[in-house]
């Protein structure tokens, strides 16, 4: 955790504080950055202005890079969250479909049982009443059975 010296906001890490500073207190952030750029005593003798400028630009580039990195991290997290919720939804749908399939399987096996029972009943019924074709016709009196 890093605390903002300007408003006391708690920031998660130096990167977040950096971003917070440049978003909320750009003036102070700039001053701080320039503080770092102040030449040391040795350099004060002949402060090469161009070198200071180059350093300032480098510093700004670093700030921009940091901001982009933070933004990229934020987008990555957002995307990961979205994927996670989508995955959870898909899992729920699949679970529901599996349940429906199991129910249909159950219905099918029940139907199968009933068809089997119907076949048994039918064959029993057929045994009780002889088929007309098997009946002896009057002109087949010489045949047995
Ligand atoms: Zn602040």
Q: How far is the CA of 64 from the centre of ligand 1 (A)?
A: 18
Percent of the chain with pLDDT over 70: 80
Contact 24, 7 (CB under 8 A): yes
In the predicted structure, residue 44 carries a pLDDT above the cut 60? no
* Average of per-residue pLDDT values in the chain: 81
Handedness of CA 69, 74, 78, 83 (dihedral sign): positive
CA-only gyration radius of the chain, Å = 43
- Ligand 1 geometric centre to CA of 52 (Å): 27
Residue 23, C-beta contacts closer than 8 angstroms, at least 6 positions apart: none
- 134 Cα: distance to centroid of ligand 1 (angstroms): 104
Over residues 103-128, mean pLDDT: 86
- Contact (Cβ atoms closer than 8 angstroms) between residue 67 and residue 22: yes
Collect residues with CB below 5 Å from ion ligand 1. Answer: 4, 6-7, 9, 24
- Better-predicted residue by pLDDT, 111 or 44: 111
Q: What is the pLDDT of residue 135?
A: 63
pTM of the model as a whole: 0.37
| Residues 6+ positions from 63 with CB-CB distance below 8 Å | 18, 22, 29, 33
Distance of CA 67 from the midpoint of ligand 1 (Å):
16
Give the distance (Å) from ligand 1 centre to CA of residue 59: 20
User: Cβ neighbours of residue 95 under 8 Å, at least 6 residues apart?
Assistant: none
Tokens coding 65:
């890079």
Where is average pLDDT lowest: 21-25, 49-53, 60-64, 134-138?
134-138
Report how far residue 18's alpha carbon sits from residue 60's, in angstroms, rounded to the nearest whole number: 12
Give the three-class secondary structure for 139.
helix
Q: CA 10, CA 4: separation in Å to the nearest integer?
A: 6
Cα-to-centroid distance, 17 and ligand 1 (Å): 8
């Amino acid at each position: 955790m890093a605390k903002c010296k300007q408003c006391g906001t708690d920031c998660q890490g130096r990167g977040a504080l950096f971003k917070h500073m440049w978003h909320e207190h750009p003036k102070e952030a700039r001053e701080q950055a320039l503080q770092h750029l102040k030449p040391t005593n040795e350099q004060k003798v002949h402060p090469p202005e161009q070198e200071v400028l180059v350093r300032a630009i480098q510093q700004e580039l670093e700030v921009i890079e940091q901001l982009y990195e933070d933004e990229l991290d934020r987008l990555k997290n957002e995307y990961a969250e979205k994927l996670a919720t989508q995955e959870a939804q898909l899992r729920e749908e699949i679970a529901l479909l599996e349940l429906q399939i199991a129910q249909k399987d159950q219905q099918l096996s029940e139907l199968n049982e009933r068809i089997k029972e119907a076949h048994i009943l039918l064959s029993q019924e057929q045994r009780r009443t002889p088929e007309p074709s098997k009946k002896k016709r009057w002109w087949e009196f010489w045949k047995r059975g």
